[in-house]
Amino acid sequence: MDDPANNKPPTLWQVLHSVLAAAFGVQSAKNRSRDFTHGKPAQFLILGLLFTLCFALTLFGIVKLVLYLAGV
């Protein structure tokens, strides 16, 4: 990725990568430093909420499918 000392804000893909890494708890110190120094909180909040919604809907769909296949 880019050098955290760079003054450019993170791109959309870098923000998405950071959100996914945070969800799994594997964020690197370099990326975390970049996010806290140059990132906009609104970007992380919106992508975090969208990720959480997609994750919850995926789990809901899997449970519904398993229950349907089990005949319940």
Residue 31 and residue 15 in contact, taking contact as beta carbons nearer than 8 Å: no
Residue 34 and residue 20 in contact, taking contact as beta carbons nearer than 8 Å: no
Looking at residue 7, what is its pLDDT? 76
Is pLDDT of 2 > 60? Answer: no
Domain range summary for the chain, segments of one domain joined by +: 12-70
Is pLDDT of 6 > 90? Answer: no
Query: pTM of this prediction?
Result: 0.77
Render pLDDT for 14-48 as a digit per residue (tens, 0 to 9): 999 999 999 999 988 999 999 999 989 999 999 99
Q: Closest Cα partner for 1 from 43, 35, 40?
A: 35
